[in-house]
Structure 1
């Protein structure tokens, strides 16, 4: 579920702070209940620190700052809020996306906070504490007459660009089938090999809508100022699909992290972190430990 795009960090500075100092970061207070929920005898990788792996795939979730070495974004900010809650210092470890599972199992870090989606297959090896919804975004040209896409009938007859064999394609094919059964026009899926080609197709009018992971498009919209959001789509449609703090299976840390997240939701810190990165649409009403995940394919 991690971003596969390496965006050029060169714009949108009027909305997103990509500086290394991060003076506007949201901090949290110690959470005595969450601290008490840490299992007796649990040993953090480094005493006094919460060591978290993150994959800098692109803003606004996680990217390198303008100094090309500091990792900033919504996931690093959330990791900091959790570390604060646990009374620990945050130690961020940048990793390549394919490397986090082995690194977590082998004990290189205490947790992964990097847009990891909850799946039934991953639950066999890891524990999860959910902290955001996994959303795709429907975006159109800024001057498009399309106002809203919330359900299959809203997309009837539209030309939508997707990548082949993606989750977005899977869902939209089902939407199109529903429309046809209801006597509406099918959705015309237009395939492009990469994200740049999809954006060019949208801006040139060859397609009406682009569907990609929501956070990616939020940043592009802020950067380019020529596309806008008209809806979101759960990555697990019909069910909600969440992303989660990921920990070693059976380590016992997940319940404490879930408790910390719910306290951050209640006291408003959680909302401030998401709002800072324009991701309020992805907020959860509550965190859950090991909820149902996407089924095995």
Structure 2
């Protein structure tokens, strides 16, 4: 019952004024119902199917079994029935399965469990906001499908127009998760601002999203920084914050999100081909638009691109 009430609260949220939203998020909160009538579907892609290795054995015949962590809407969450997994990553998984001529089976997993489950063959792939890193590439293959972005969001009535580089954030107080990659980036931004003769960035460190947003809404912080998709969802739900900028999650390097498969399984080429087919026919962008994530679209999918180094 508690889970159901929490999910319903995500749908309703608090209504504010003056919010500027992506076109797909205007008018109503995102659909977290289990039926998902607006989900985009695809036709089978012969070019992608041809790249499935002849000897590849799917976990279940005729089925693409995909692990996903349902813990962060709009990327992945339990629906209002507290059972069905919905969101941008499930939508993309469905498109890929369709392209490969397969039925989709989603397996909800804890984030910490996906590497072992994938390596041991419990599922064919992981589609759950997994970033490409050089360390992960030692054990897994990757087909990129989305940019990894952090978002700068301010109150709807804020006079801050844009934050794209260190000088734009100089002198601001920013709410951010302690010990996160975002904190690492902003510490460097502050150093660069001071080196340019500007004011430093003041960081307010919180472990909890609710605390970060409270600091912003109460006026104690000028902006909040955390994964972009999470804040897109909050903005669409509550309508009292707005986006003023994004940056790569691996700044100053690019950080793409990818489908993860077992190293050397051979499935990666089919998944990359399927993704590029979906990009070409426009269904990829349509699926992202359902969840307000057009900003995270890639121009093309790549197999095992350079990943983030070990820090």
* TM category, shorter: over 0.9
Aligned partner of 1:93 in structure 2 is 107
Q: Which of 215, 223, 232 is 2:237 aligned to?
A: 223
1:8 deviates by 4.1
1:9 deviates by 4.3
After superposition, residues 101-250 of structure 1 pair within 5 angstroms as: 101-250=115-264
1:170 deviates by 0.6
Aligned partner of 2:9 in structure 1 is 10
Aligned partner of 1:262 in structure 2 is 276
> Which runs of 4 or more aligned residues in structure 1 lie more than 3 Å from their structure 2 counterparts after TM superposition?
none
- Give the TM-score normalised by the residue count of structure 2: 0.92
1:229 deviates by 0.6
Residues 56 and 94, structure 1, Cα contact 8 Å, conserved in 2: yes
Residues 12 and 219, structure 1, Cα contact 8 Å, conserved in 2: no
Aligned partner of 1:36 in structure 2 is 50
Name whichever of 192-201 and 248-257 sits farther off. Answer: 192-201
Per-residue CA deviation, residues 53-72 of structure 1 (Å, 9 max, x unaligned), is 00001210000001110000
Per-residue CA deviation, residues 20-39 of structure 1 (Å, 9 max, x unaligned), is 11111100111000000111
SS across alignment from 1:115: strand
Gaps of 5+ in 2: 1-5, 13-27
- Give the TM-score normalised by the residue count of structure 1: 0.96
Q: Distance in 1 between matches of 2:241 and 2:7?
A: 17
Gaps of 5+ in 1: 1-6
Residues 131 and 243, structure 1, Cα contact 8 Å, conserved in 2: yes
Q: Distance in 2 between matches of 1:240 and 1:176?
A: 20
Aligned partner of 1:80 in structure 2 is 94
1:289 deviates by 0.5
Q: Distance in 1 between matches of 2:138 and 2:280?
A: 30
Aligned partner of 1:50 in structure 2 is 64
Per-residue CA deviation, residues 195-218 of structure 1 (Å, 9 max, x unaligned), is 111111100000100001011111
1:250 deviates by 0.3
Q: Distance in 2 between matches of 1:66 and 1:172?
A: 36
Q: Distance in 2 between matches of 1:76 and 1:209?
A: 30
Per-residue CA deviation, residues 155-208 of structure 1 (Å, 9 max, x unaligned), is 010000112221001111111111111111111111123111111110000010
- Residue 65 (structure 2) pairs with residue 66 (structure 1): no
